[in-house]
Amino acid sequence: MSEIEGVRLPVEGMTCGSCVARIERTVKKVGGVASVRVSLRDETMTVRRDPALVSNAALAQAVEAAGYRTDPDRAEPATAEVSRGLLARLLGR
């Protein structure tokens, strides 16, 4: 992968932790995705991805394939702090 960037998308239709897990599993399979974190509370999905390999539309297709709704036109850049994984934040990287 080349340049990694974070993007946040809204996700509608989630009701429980199983919904979160299903979306994360499905989106992780998309080529170019480095990591994905879904928040049931915020109804959002934060993805670290290579934008040359995976578009917002491709992420939306994966969410919809998992059975949920999102709007790629409402995607917004995720700050570096938000898009980094928990371990990286704990280690200060």
Structural domain boundaries, residue 65:
5-91
pLDDT mean by block of 10 residues, the chain; 93 residues:
87 97 98 96 96 96 97 89 52 57
Domain count, the chain: 1
91: three-class secondary structure by DSSP: helix
Report the pLDDT value the prediction gives residue 83, as an integer from 0 to 100: 44
- Reference 9, options 30, 31, 38, 52; nearest CA is 38
Cβ-count burial of 72 within 10 angstroms (0-12 exposed, 13-18 middle, 19+ buried)? middle
Report the pLDDT value the prediction gives residue 3, as an integer from 0 to 100: 87
Report the pLDDT value the prediction gives residue 93, as an integer from 0 to 100: 52
Report the pLDDT value the prediction gives residue 64, as an integer from 0 to 100: 97
Amino acid at 86: L
Q: What is the CATH number of the domain that holds 73?
A: 3.30.70.100
